[in-house]
Chain A
Amino acid sequence: MQQGYGRSIGRRDFLKLGLAALATSAAACAPAAAPAPPTGPRVSEVKVGSLHPLTGTGAFEGNLVARGVRLRIEEANAAGGIKSLGGAKINLIEADTQGKPEVGQSETERLIREGCVVLMGAFHSAVTIVTTQVAEREGVPFVISVAVSDRILQRGFKYSFRQQPNASMMGRLTVRALKEVVDAASGQYRRVAFIHEDTEMGQSISAAAFSALKEAGFEVVEDITYNAARITDVTPEASRVRAANPDIILINGYYADTLLWVRTFRDLRVSPKAIVGLANALLSNPNFIKEEPKLAEYMIDGNYWWNPNSERARRVKEAYEKRYNEPFTNHSAQGYQSADVLVDALERAASTDRDRIREALAKTKLTDIIVPGDSIEFDETGQNKNAQPLLLQILQGVVTPVAPQKYAAGRPVFPIPPLEERLR
């Protein structure tokens, strides 16, 4: 992994030298920004802020993302820091948003005050909306590590960037991948029961999925909203689903509540052709496999993930598991990739000036990435246009990407075996 990074630095250095040679004889340059010099001032450190819910709701995933970020930054420092700044070390300052917007706001102000020239975060869409606002006002680039709501980048902001797929992409592309899998099977499977939780996350993703489902020719036979935090028993809702007799059950939710759903479906002997998650925190989680191996098998989830066919992703996974002694998850992958975008931008910016960093971010064209997509490139709103969720299925106790074809590491099983068979 260290080796891999060293290799890509080598490539970049070569490119820079070549560019420097050309620049001396080049005529035109980008008007707004002065052409970035091959090396910048020599500074001792660059301060970078990481804002995530380390306590409170979302603490579980928040910590995973934060650790992914930390891993990448540590790697960068171990590999000699930011070369274009004379080997400057990245000083990562972590903050806890507690899942509250005004805390996120305060922490953002504090990090900026402490000298952070670029920020990352914040997991909760509601918190991210507010933190990116602060960053925009202060002119500090903000690289979104995880936050799905479309609205975050619909405000005409110039300083916010997001590498992961947004809610529309999650909804639309998951349904598209699902349709691929369904169509490949023999038989007509059109009936979908759609279950989603009622916070920002659930609402934004399900809205996109809804229209995608209709377009793809699925029939939504039951539509259930629920409150993840307060739910103690889903038996009534589950029996409604049972009565609707769907082919596919689509669930968008968090860990504990989805587990409640899956177990209740088992209790009520509900046996659909597939249970599919939509950015679901349970159905692609290794802990789920440990806790309920029989129930977990064949579960499908459409979620952000790392590219299984990427050598670098494999190395990062190993490094993460070694460093933190816990399974590498898709949340950590997003944290890692976002930090990677940041490190790359810092190198290209060769400056601690926030506007230079912002420009470097805007011009990102990263191909050595661990997530799906040909490259990471941001559109004018700051959204990575190549972001792509994957369809994952738990096969033989391993979360395996199965669609789209290009990023598959295994063949999907659809329809899945009936419940009785699975529990044997």
Chain B
Amino acid sequence: MKVEVDPRRRPTIIGLLVILAILAAAGPFLASNRYAIQVATLILLFAYLASGWNILSGYGGQFSFGHAAFFGLGAYTSTILFVKFGVSPWVGMLAAGLVSALLGLFIGLACFRSGLRGAYFALATLAFAEILRVIFVNWDWVGRSQGLLIQLVGDEPLLFQFTARLPYYYIALALLALVSGVALLLERLKLGYELRAIKSNEVAAAVLGVDVFRAKMWAMGLSAFFTGIGGTFYAQYLYYIEPFQVFGVGMSVDILLPAIIGGAGTVIGPIIGAAILVLLGEGTRTFFRGFAGADLMVFGVILVLVILFMPYGVMGLLGSAPKAKKESA
């Protein structure tokens, strides 16, 4: 498997490295301001989650509206392992990724074998996330709707707990670098090309000899894996998880929006999207303080405008997004 670096792709690698370097350097400066580092960490987390989603839905074109299923399952896996069995969340994180991947493969098996696509697939993923939510809300062992509290043990790096905020920032940054690297690699590997072909025109891809099912399953597994790990980070960051939050539709939407806004199917898109969305959210909430609902109204308008006039996100504006073939009615 020879990995060639296409000259056209070099800007992406450089762009990514520059962004990561800046973010890494910015850490200590941000740390002096508790609020700034909180916001920055959230940006990194959602950039990471959106990038994970991107693998299946951006590159692969299989739009998932239920990634909260993997996120929540990952969060619960590592938390249960820690709270009930004393397993370090670092190990739990890996377990979370694997368990979520398994769920992803299960869902993929069910959906892709039946040829579910487009809106059907999106709604099916939504339904799966909701099923998990209902199950967890009614399951005694995981605390039902009260969820699980992670005992604060102070500064215990081996147990994924820090009293300072900066370590979380760097962990999130590392995760983002990891998933972005995977996305970059994906773009070059055969799988990446297959996914793009499938996204563009699935029937044609099959005719050309692409094993559509296999490619989709790979994408699903990888996407679910990374999303599950993100769930662990979230759990270790808030020290508290409950089903309505981690399995909710809101979380699924929060995961996919940065990729859409920034540019699905690109490496840098989700990062830009996350930055825009989180900052916009903070900004409108502060600006419209006291005027209930105004910030979300603005948000809705912006969402509409972006899709109407920048359907390939910011990266599309910059001319770097792969343009998908439009579906004919």
Contact = CB atoms under 8 A, between A and B. Distances in A.
Chain A–chain B contact at Cβ < 8 A: yes
Contacts of A44: none
A374 interface: no
Interface string A198-214: 11101110000000000
A100 B239 contact: no
B293 interface: yes
Interface stretch (B57-65, B100-108, B137-145, B209-217): B137-145
Contacts of B292: 54-55, 59, 63, 96
Assign chain B's interface to a size class: 35 or more
Contact of B34 (A54, A138, A149, A199): A138
A96 B291 CA distance: 10
B42 A102 contact: yes
Interface stretch (B67-75, B181-189, B282-290): B282-290
B149 A109 contact: no
A391 interface: no
Contacts of B290: 54, 94
Contacts of A138: 34
Most buried by A among B38, B149, B163, B295: B38
A96 B239 CA distance: 21
B152 interface: yes
A307 interface: no
Interface stretch (B5-13, B80-88, B190-198, B242-250): B242-250
Given A151-B146, A198-B145, A96 B285 contact: yes
Nearest to B293: A55
B149 A129 contact: yes
A155 to B, nearest CB: 7
A113 B35 contact: yes
Contacts of A107: 285
Contact of B138 (A101, A198, A200): A198
B33 interface: yes
A105 interface: yes
A24 to B, nearest CB: 41
B306 interface: no
Interface residues of A, number: 36
Interface string A53-68: 0110001000100000
A137 interface: yes
Interface in A32-54: 54
Given A95-B289, A101-B245, A113-B34, A198 B146 contact: no
A101 B35 contact: no
A77 interface: no
B296 interface: yes
A402 interface: no
B39 interface: yes
B35 A112 contact: yes
A198 B139 CA distance: 11
Contacts of B145: 198-200, 202-203
B152 A105 contact: no
A55 B296 contact: yes
Contacts of B134: 227
A375 B151 CA distance: 32
Interface string A122-147: 00001001100100011000000000
Contacts of A100: 245, 250
The 10 closest A-B pairs by CB, nearest first: A113-B35, A109-B38, A109-B35, A110-B35, A54-B292, A55-B292, A199-B145, A203-B145, A129-B240, A109-B34
Given A100-B250, A109-B38, A110-B282, 10 more contacts: A96-B289, A105-B38, A106-B42, A110-B286, A126-B240, A129-B240, A130-B239, A199-B145, A227-B134, A227-B137
